[in-house]
Amino acid sequence: MYDGLFIPPLYEGGVFRVRGIMSKVSTSKGDIDALVVGIREALTFVEPLRAR
């Protein structure tokens, strides 16, 4: 899962280049905009550019 790898460095000030698909995700608090990565139908990626 990407969250376990990239969320901690993101909160610590890491810099990433991301390619994904814009989507809306429904949650119990309402819809939120999201960038979806890691799907088979499109070229998507998360590339670390600078770690803190």
**Cβ-proximal residues to 1 (8 Å cutoff; 6+ apart), any chain:** none
pLDDT of residue 28: 93
Give tens-digit pLDDT for 1-45.
566 677 788 788 888 898 989 999 899 999 999 888 888 888 998
Label residues 26-51 b or e (16+ Cβ within 10 Å = b): eeeeeeeeeeebeeeeeebebeeeee
Structure confidence at residue 51 as a pLDDT band (50, 70, 90): low
pLDDT of residue 49: 87
pTM for the structure as a whole: 0.60
